A and B are shown apart, each in its own frame.
Chain A
Amino acid sequence: MSERLRILIAKPGLDGHDRGAKVVARALRDAGMEVIYTGLRQTPEMIVEAALQEDVDAIGLSILSGAHMTLIPRVIEGLREAGLDQVRVFVGGIIPDEDVAALEELGVAAIFGPGTSTQVITDVVRRHLTGG
């Protein structure tokens, strides 16, 4: 039971609420993971720093504001600069189809749109992190 999966859940940018992020955080916890929840209005720099200190396996970013094409690349770039290339990035929120491919190209492991069940999210995250 050692080597427990650790995942950071953060909301970059200026979104006003974090209901969805909290639901996902709770679901991942119930799936047996250690979830570090950072709350609202995180800058990409804050997210990278927290990921480093907490030594997480993955980051889940929740974005509803439409600023994903600015914020997510900055997080991914920051991870790379910090030597955290192996940290997987997942995105939840409202991402238009035309941006999905671009984000995946950047290295986002999976994108979860509105209506995705928490079961699907925990399954996909676990599969990516354990390779199973």
Chain B
Amino acid sequence: MELVPRVLGGDRRALARLISFIEDDGPAARAALAALYPHTGRAHIVGVTGAPGTGKSTLVNELAKALRAQSRSVGIVAVDPTSPFTGGALLGDRVRMRDLAGDPGIFIRSMATRGSLGGLAQTTGDVVKVLDAAGFEVVLVETVGVGQAEVDVARTAHTTVVVEAPGLGDEVQALKAGLLEIADVLVVNKADRPGAGQTARALEVTLDLGRNNRGEGDWRPPILKTVALDGTGVEEVLGAVADHRAYLRESGLWDRREQERVRVDLVRMLERELVGRLVERVGEDALEGWVEQIVARKVDVYTAVQTILKADPAGERAMSS
């Protein structure tokens, strides 16, 4: 596939084309990803996540500007939701990233979730790999506006920045949120608004109650206040992100997280591949037959799965091993 050498050579049009192929998930995309893989693993992947309206895009814009001031190249992947009803999507993150136009050291790509629920699109991780291989030193991944459980970004990114804003909820919300558990850096944006101090204190208390459910390391996420609109506090966030990177390297967590990520990737790919093959062998008609029987309460879904697998020699082998 001739796109790969062009991507490695810095051709932005080829890069954009390849990302589209990956989003559409064809066989050509897999071949390209395979060819690019040896060139990955160099970028610092930084996730930016938080509830809708907390200022993620504006913060990403400011972080990218600050990184460019340090002459580091920046790839940005900004994810917005796909409509569950029409399949369409309105991707509006570029509105806040006007400042970054015209800079060859920056590449911005908007992605729709296309049905994925974890805050990223299913192919976001692969798109990040392409930007990594293309030589971007930092890749910023902005998730959709998330609630309490969309934590896929923590598996894609080395460093996860969770953005909060004043006035979004009390301490119990902070306690519930799976989002806080994935934070490596906590940002209270819109810090010029009333209640910012209170939000920061609530987060501080939550951290005091114990973190580390991930069972690794002793990094305590710093809580930083920003006003992303005018850039206040952004340097500090960038500093914390760099500190976290150094911490990951020194503690060996960088490698361990990489292993975790690769393991999840591998299992996920196996699942997709195996299920795809199985469904193909069983046949859509037979599958439809099972659906009808299950709906009619003639059989339950658990028994159906066991029966389908037993009837398929390869499936049975996979089960018994």
Contacts and interface: CB of A to CB of B under 8 A. Distances in A.
Q: Is the pairing of A and B real?
A: yes
Given A29-B86, A45-B101, A46-B101, A34 B91 contact: yes
Contact of B108 (A29, A33, A53): A53
A28 interface: yes
Interface residues on B, range: 20 to 34
B19 interface: yes
Interface in A24-55: 25-26, 28-39, 41-43, 45-46, 49-50, 52-55
Given A36-B110, A55-B17, A31 B88 contact: yes
Interface string A78-91: 00001110000000
Contacts, number: 83
A84 B16 CA distance: 12
A66 to B, nearest CB: 23
B310 interface: no
B107 interface: yes
Contacts of A84: 13
**Chain A interface mostly helix, strand, loop or mixed?**
mixed
A25 B94 contact: no
Interface stretch (B20-28, B62-70, B136-144, B151-159): B20-28
A46 B87 CA distance: 27
Contacts of B267: none
A18 B7 CA distance: 35
A45 B88 CA distance: 26
Nearest to B107: A53
B295 interface: no
A19 B90 CA distance: 15
Contact of B91 (A2, A30, A37): A37
Given A49-B102, A52-B16, A83-B13, A38 B88 contact: no
B88 A35 contact: yes
B83 interface: yes
A28 B13 contact: no
Contacts of A6: 20
A105 interface: no
B89 interface: yes
A3 B17 CA distance: 12
Interface in A65-100: 82-84
Contacts of A25: 90
Contacts of B20: 6, 55
B263 interface: no
A120 interface: no
25 contacts: A4-B24, A6-B20, A28-B88, A30-B83, A30-B88, A31-B86, A31-B88, A32-B88, A34-B91, A35-B89, A35-B91, A36-B110, A37-B92, A37-B94, A37-B95, A38-B95, A39-B94, A41-B98, A46-B102, A50-B94, A50-B108, A53-B12, A55-B19, A82-B13, A83-B13
Interface of A: 1-4, 6, 25-26, 28-39, 41-43, 45-46, 49-50, 52-55, 82-84
Q: Which 10 A-B pairs have the closest CB atoms?
A: A29-B88, A39-B95, A55-B16, A2-B24, A46-B101, A55-B20, A32-B88, A29-B90, A32-B87, A37-B92
Interface of B: 12-13, 16-17, 19-20, 23-26, 82-83, 86-92, 94-95, 98, 101-102, 107-110, 112, 114
